[in-house]
Amino acid sequence: MTTFPRPRLIATDLDGTLLCASGSVSERTAAALAQAERAGIQVVFVTGRPPRWMTQLSAHIGGHGVAICSNGGAVVDVRRGELVESFPLAVADATAVVAALRAELPGTAFAFEFPGGFAREPEYELRMWGSDEDHPVATAEQLLGDGRVGGLFKLLAKHPELDPDVFLARARVVAGGLAEITRSSPVALLEISARGVTKASTLARWCGEQGIDRSEVVAFGDMPNDLEMLAWAGRSYAVANAHPEVLAAVAQHTVGNDEDGVAAVIETLL
């Protein structure tokens, strides 16, 4: 048996992992997070969500108040609504990715998450939170060219027809040398960050600043955008509803998000 040190930090994805299908935190999970904090274990949310989608989770964020958002592209003080640190995708790299995907995968539409909010192309359909917010709508080339989307946390690319995993694989072939490309949505939606910026890279940076070794980290996830973080942490768990690639890559599994899989492990750890 492998002996692990007492955990000092729990790093958990949100949608599909910690949160119920409704997007809420169950009473059991809220209690487990609070218990971990009282035991002196930091809980850090490490999510693909942009900072603007984090305010409703501030009650569960823990004493530090910080979340890692946009797949590592932004570190945010949720309670204060302040950007602590960011690792933006350069406009030149975003422009190159857009050109490559347009040429090789016709029909791809783009959107942008940046410190000022959100912007999209007309063809990029909104079916998630934030669809009622005012935001710029123009071609990707116009938005990138006039500086409206500077400091990009994340470039989003959506395709109306391709299988999500096929879209990811093909995009990595044509643009993987320009940026980090991953996915966490059930639809053909890619999440694109600066090269070297992942959930793992920003979590490792945070832990280093706190004097926490990777062996003292327990991580939870469910989708391809969690793979680097799950590989980096000393102990990792995939929830039962995780993507097949994640279930295959992670040795330890817990029950699904709607069965409070993260809480079940925290209760055992404590």
pLDDT for 1: 46
In a domain, 247, yes or no: yes
Torsion angle in degrees (nearest 10) through CA of 34, 203, 153, 61: 10
Rounded Cα distance, 194 and 180, in Å: 6
The CATH number linked to 78 is 3.40.50.1000
In a domain, 3, yes or no: no
Backbone angles phi, psi at 38, to 5 degrees: -65, -30
Q: For residue 50, give the nearest of 99, 139, 118, 96 by alpha carbon.
A: 118
Shared-domain flag, residues 14 and 76: yes
pLDDT of residue 2: 56
Q: What is the CA radius of gyration of the chain?
A: 18
Residue 54 lies in a domain: yes
- Cβ neighbours of 259 (radius 10 Å): 15
104 shares its domain with 183: yes
The encoded tokens of residue 195 equal 């090269």
pLDDT for the residue 132: 54
60: number of Cβ within 10 Å: 18
Whether 107 and 241 share a structural domain:
no
Total domains present in the chain:
2
**Whether residues 210 and 264 fall in one domain:** yes
Residue 263 domain-assigned (yes or no) = yes
Residues 82 and 201 in one domain: yes
Three-class secondary structure assignment of the chain: CCCCCCCCEEEECHHHHHCCCCCCCCHHHHHHHHHHHHCCCEEEEECCCCHHHCHHHHHHCCCCCEEEEHHHCEEEECCCCEEEEECCECHHHHHHHHHHHHHHCCCCEEEEEECCEEEECCCCCCCCCCCCCCCCECCHHHHHHCCCCCCECEEEEECCCCCHHHHHHHHHHHHCCCCEEECCCCCCEEEEECCCCCHHHHHHHHHHHHCCCHHHEEEEECCHHHHHHHHHCCEEEEECCCCHHHHHHCCEEECCHHHCHHHHHHHHHC
Tokens for 10?
């729990």
What predicted TM-score, i.e. pTM, was given to this entire model?
A: 0.93
Within a domain: 109: yes
- Among 175, 193, 211, the domain boundary falls at 193
Both 166 and 100 in one domain: the answer is: yes
Query: Could you identify the residue written with the tokens 């969690």?
Result: 226
Exposure string of 194-208, with b = 16+ CB inside 10 Å and e = fewer, is: beebbbbbbbbebbe
Residues 52 and 183 in one domain: no
Are residues 60 and 78 part of one domain? yes
Of 108, 128, 105, 107, residue with least CA distance to 118:
128
At residue 81, the pLDDT reads 86
List the CATH number of the domain containing 166.
3.30.1240.10
Per-residue model confidence as pLDDT tens for the chain (270 residues): 456 778 999 999 999 999 999 999 999 999 999 999 999 999 999 999 999 888 878 888 777 789 999 999 999 998 888 999 999 999 999 999 999 999 999 999 999 999 989 999 999 988 754 455 789 999 999 999 999 999 999 999 999 999 999 999 999 999 999 999 999 999 999 999 999 999 999 999 999 999 999 999 999 999 999 999 999 999 999 999 999 999 999 999 999 999 999 999 999 999
**251 belongs to a structural domain:** yes
Which amino acid is residue 218, in one-letter code? V
Distance from C-alpha of 37 to C-alpha of 266, rounded to nearest angstrom: 11
Q: Which domain holds residue 115?
A: 91-193
Question: Does residue 4 lie within any of the structural domains?
Answer: no
Task: Say if 165 falls within a structural domain.
Answer: yes
Among 193, 213, 241, where does a domain finish? Answer: 193
Q: Are residues 218 and 187 in the same domain?
A: no
CA 210 to chain centre: 21
The residue out of 193, 212, 235 marking a domain boundary is 193
Residues 68 and 104 both lie in one domain: no
